[in-house]
Chain A
């Protein structure tokens, strides 16, 4: 079992819809969770951090964490074509460096 799992996609949503991306992790002791956005050919860019159960909102982005079920999700409201990218989930598993999922590719259709 991978430590951090994501559906590779692509996840296709129409412009203006809500995109929901999910991530599960295996280490119950994980404390910190991050979402990165990566455009094709570019480096990962941090977009959200979440540390406690519940929701964390920043503009059109909401990160949700459920430690009991060991999943973290990212909601993107009012999706735009410019949101088309690969979204990477990263987890602090206590091993002194973040562990990344393989990413979910999001396509927003105009």
Chain B
């Protein structure tokens, strides 16, 4: 079992470019999440999907969109990247809400 798989692992974008971060889980989990991690800020929730077919905003959704493609896959899109979006992005999944989440290996994104 791979768990939670994110692609790509590293990415450099120019300001204004767009990109999609991919995430897939093979644990048959219902809920999936996107967090960003910045130094001294901890993990902040961008968007989450409590179950297939639903998505909701988290703490810092501005500048991002998400798609829950199916039960396994949850993608994060940056439409017009800004330097403030330079961060490490983690996808996570869990059986349901309020239970432990399991994380992918992260995507280190730099916007120049």
Q: Chain A interface (Cβ within 8 Å of chain B)?
A: 4, 8, 31-32, 34, 42-46, 49, 88, 90, 92, 94, 96-103
**Number of contacts between A and B (CB, 8 Å)?**
53
Q: Are B103 and A96 in contact (CB under 8 A)?
A: no
B87 at interface, CB cutoff 8 A: no
B100 to chain A, nearest CB (A): 5
Q: Are B42 and A102 in contact (CB under 8 A)?
A: yes
Is B40 an interface position by the 8 A CB rule?
A: yes
Residue interface bits B19-49, CB-to-A below 8 A is 1, else 0 = 0000000000001010100001111110010
For A6, give the chain B residue with the smallest CB separation: B42
Q: Which residue of A lies closest to B41 (CB)?
A: A102
Residue in chain A with minimal CB distance to B32 = A97
Q: What number of B residues sit within 8 Å (CB to CB) of A?
A: 24
Expressed in whole angstroms, the Cα–Cα distance for A32 and B95 within the complex equals 14
Task: Note all chain B residues with C-beta closer than 8 A to A88.
Answer: 42-43
Min Cβ gap A91→B in Å is 10
Indicate if the CB atoms of B98 and A32 lie closer than 8 Å. Answer: yes
What would 8 more interface pairs be, CB under 8 Å, given A45-B103, A101-B42? A42-B106, A43-B90, A88-B42, A94-B98, A96-B98, A97-B97, A100-B42, A102-B41
Determine how close the nearest CB of chain A comes to the CB of B72; give it in whole angstroms.
18
Q: A31-B98, A34-B100, A92-B98 are in contact. Are A97 and B42 (CB under 8 A)?
A: no
